Amino acid sequence: MDVVNVLHMNAENRKCSYAENSTLQKTVILKARKVLEETIKDYGSHGFPQCFKLADLGCSSGPNSLFLIANIVDGVHAFCQKKNLKAPDEYQVFLNDLPNNDFNAVFKMTPQFYSNLENEIGPEKSEKCFICGVPGSFYKRLFPSDSLHFVHSSYSVHWLSQVPRELLDINKGNIYIPKVNPAGVYEAYFNQFTRDFTAFLHMRSEEMVSKGRMVLTLIGRSTADPACNNDCCHLYGLLAKSLHDMVAEGLIHEEDFNSFNLPIYTSCTDELKAIIESENSFTIDRLETFEVNCDTRDENEKIKSDESSGRFIANTIRAVMEPMLASHFGNTFMDKLFERYAMHVTEHLSREEPKYFNIVISLTKKCK
Ligand SMILES: C[S@@+](CC[C@H](N)C(=O)[O-])C[C@H]1O[C@@H](n2cnc3c(N)ncnc32)[C@H](O)[C@@H]1O
């Protein structure tokens, strides 16, 4: 079952809680920024091309992708000025997501993007930054051969191309890898991720020039053991618990609950390294990890109320999960489900504070 397309099926519902989710992703982009800047400097120390071609994969419909692109263009400009190097004359920017993505929402933000960029790097340079949308799955070819100098992706590559089929029979009562690990569930997820991430690397290796650079940020897990994972998987477990409540209240059928699994995989760093090494098109220049509070408001100010945090976290997860849940179960009980979910998260927060564990990797395409 190809479930990834339903990520965009319910755009209106996404918008209502997008703010929380966008805040999380922006926090992640800011925390990964140092690796991005170092990568630009490394790449630029050999000279930039006349037209710098870059892509953001899984750009979504919020403001983060253009914020990120502005960061890259500013970063290139500042580095060239500091080192007295020739900056690119032109930038060609490709924003990719699945075909159902609301690309128009992103395009409507371009006037503001150009106006900000003009303030940073001047009108002549900013008007030579050409933006276009590229609909399609990043597990397939998206660009011509040897055409990209720089690829970026944040919070997208942990989405699988499909739910592993084997899970239907073996993961009843769970929606992700449970704490007590039923035989085969972890393997099914890991094998799917290995196939998908290998395909992702292979496609990019065809599309990128030799020595082109790629920076990827993914949600991961902090331990090699998938069963004793204390990261955001708790949040998926609590979502399963809330769905279970809906079964108990007769709002959803047990068989529908049993046949739902998340198309996400949270890998650990060793797994990522092993896949990159075995695919063999890229070298790893940097690999760093960092945690982000699940209530991202805590990054700047301490939020006192567990209940307020519980609601905030529930809204963050709702923004991402609701389209998928609604497509599987129907959307009549979503408010009730996420009220219950906020309650379970609040209860959990009184015992421990879950974190999103993130992995950021900087890669160089090997010479052919
Ligand atoms: C959580 S959002 C991240 C958005 C943005 N990068 C940010 O940091 O704010 C993940 C995005 O990845 C996209 N995505 C998932 N699987 C994809 C695939 N196979 N090909 C292209 N985009 C995909 C989703 O549609 C979604 O817009």
| Whether the CB of 346 sits within 6 Å of ligand 1 | no
Find the 156 Cα to ligand 1 centroid distance in Å.
Answer: 4
Helix axes 33-44, 64-83, angle to 10 degrees: 40
Find the 123 Cα to ligand 1 centroid distance in Å.
Answer: 31
| Whether the CB of 98 sits within 6 Å of ligand 1 | yes
Find the 60 Cα to ligand 1 centroid distance in Å.
Answer: 5
Distance CA 132, CA 93 (A): 6
Phi and psi at residue 144, to the nearest 5°: -65, 165
Among 3, 56, 65, 98, which residue has the most ligand 1 atoms within 8 Å of its CB, making it the best to mutate? 98
In contact, 120 and 84? CB cutoff 8 Å: no
The domain spans of the chain are 4-365
Nearest CA to ligand 1 atom 1: 155
| Whether the CB of 138 sits within 6 Å of ligand 1 | yes
| Whether the CB of 59 sits within 6 Å of ligand 1 | yes
In contact, 226 and 188? CB cutoff 8 Å: no
Find the 348 Cα to ligand 1 centroid distance in Å.
Answer: 28
Rg (CA), the chain: 21
| Whether the CB of 18 sits within 6 Å of ligand 1 | no
Q: H helices within the chain, ranges in order? A: 11-16, 18-31, 33-44, 64-83, 103-107, 110-121, 123-126, 167-170, 185-207, 233-248, 254-258, 269-279, 306-329, 334-349
In contact, 170 and 210? CB cutoff 8 Å: no
Q: Per-residue confidence of the chain (368 residues) as pLDDT tens digits?
A: 444 444 444 333 344 345 666 788 899 999 999 999 999 999 999 899 999 999 999 999 999 999 999 999 999 999 999 999 999 999 999 999 999 999 999 999 999 999 999 998 888 888 899 999 999 999 999 999 999 999 999 999 999 999 998 998 899 999 999 888 777 999 999 999 999 999 999 999 999 999 999 999 999 999 998 876 666 778 999 999 999 999 999 999 999 999 999 999 999 999 999 999 999 999 999 999 999 988 887 665 555 667 888 999 999 999 989 999 999 999 899 999 999 999 999 999 888 888 899 999 999 999 97
The reported pLDDT for the residue numbered 8 is 45
Nearest CA to ligand 1 atom 10: 156
| Whether the CB of 97 sits within 6 Å of ligand 1 | yes
Among 156, 160, 203, which residue has the most ligand 1 atoms within 8 Å of its CB, making it the best to mutate? 156
Among 36, 103, 140, 159, which residue has the most ligand 1 atoms within 8 Å of its CB, making it the best to mutate? 159
Find the 169 Cα to ligand 1 centroid distance in Å.
Answer: 28
Query: Which pTM does this prediction carry?
Result: 0.92
Tokens of 341: 């979910």
Helix axes 233-248, 306-329, angle to 10 degrees: 60
The reported pLDDT for the residue numbered 301 is 57
Please give the CATH architecture assigned to the domain spanning 4-365: 3-Layer(aba) Sandwich (3.40)
| Whether the CB of 261 sits within 6 Å of ligand 1 | no
| Whether the CB of 7 sits within 6 Å of ligand 1 | yes
Among 6, 30, 60, which residue has the most ligand 1 atoms within 8 Å of its CB, making it the best to mutate? 60
Nearest CA to ligand 1 atom 24: 58
Nearest CA to ligand 1 atom 14: 58
Find the 65 Cα to ligand 1 centroid distance in Å.
Answer: 10
Identify the helix (H) or strand (E) that includes residue 360. strand 355-365
Nearest CA to ligand 1 atom 11: 58
Q: Give Cα 275 to chain centroid, integer Å.
A: 18
The reported pLDDT for the residue numbered 87 is 94
| Whether the CB of 358 sits within 6 Å of ligand 1 | no
In contact, 33 and 215? CB cutoff 8 Å: no
| Whether the CB of 317 sits within 6 Å of ligand 1 | no
